[in-house]
């Protein structure tokens, strides 16, 4: 067994532990470990983005504003933006509380948004 494969196997065994999948809280706030919680049927996922013309426009407008903000980190540029019936859900890791507030503000100011559920998390440093 190669050293790389052995290390990957050991890492996976530690992550899974004896009781099954490790809880997402035990991972740093990056997209790899946190996506484990997307298996919870109560969590909104990107696959639940509405296909209504208004919701798609809202998501596109927010995404454009986020990506054009050069003060935001790469993580912030890649947050999940999900819109359903005018309600925007923001998910994913950001670096700072300032980034979290900035993205929420961008979403709140888009025409047609009736609410924002800010589930952004400040990444562990």
Confidence of residue 30 (pLDDT cuts 50, 70, 90): low
Confidence of residue 52 (pLDDT cuts 50, 70, 90): confident
Q: CA-CA distance, 6 to 75, in Å (whole number)?
A: 29
Q: Which is more confidently placed, 34 or 77?
A: 77
Backbone conformation region of residue 93, classed left if phi is above 0, alpha if psi is from -120 to 50, else beta? beta
Distances (CA, A) of 95 to 73, 99, 122: 7, 7, 5
47 contacts 35 by C-beta, under 8 angstroms = no
CA geometry: angle at 90 spanning 84 and 95, to 5°? 170
Q: Say how many Å lie between the first and final Cα of the chain, rounded.
A: 33
Residues forming CATH 3.30.1340.30 domain(s) in the chain: 44-125
**Average pLDDT, whole number, for the chain?**
77
Phi, psi of 120 (to 5 degrees): -65, 145
Token pair of 62 as six digits: 């927010």
If one looks up domain 44-125 in CATH, what number appears?
Answer: 3.30.1340.30
The tens digit of pLDDT for each residue in 58-108 reads 999 999 999 999 999 999 999 999 999 999 999 999 999 999 999 999 999
Strands 87-94 and 115-122: parallel
| pTM given for the model | 0.66
Phi, psi of 84 (to 5 degrees): -140, 120
């Amino acid at each position: 067994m190669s050293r790389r494969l052995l290390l990957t196997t050991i890492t996976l065994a530690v992550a899974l532990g004896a009781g099954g999948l490790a809880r997402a809280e035990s991972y740093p706030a990056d997209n790899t470990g946190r996506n484990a919680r997307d298996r919870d049927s109560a969590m909104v996922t990107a696959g639940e983005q509405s296909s209504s013309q208004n919701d798609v426009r809202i998501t596109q407008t927010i995404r454009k504003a986020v990506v054009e903000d050069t003060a935001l980190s790469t993580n912030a540029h890649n947050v999940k933006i999900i819109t359903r019936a005018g309600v925007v859900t923001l998910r994913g890791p950001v670096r700072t509380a300032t980034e979290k507030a900035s993205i929420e503000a961008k979403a709140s100011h888009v025409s047609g948004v009736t609410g924002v559920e800010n589930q952004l998390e400040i990444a562990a440093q």
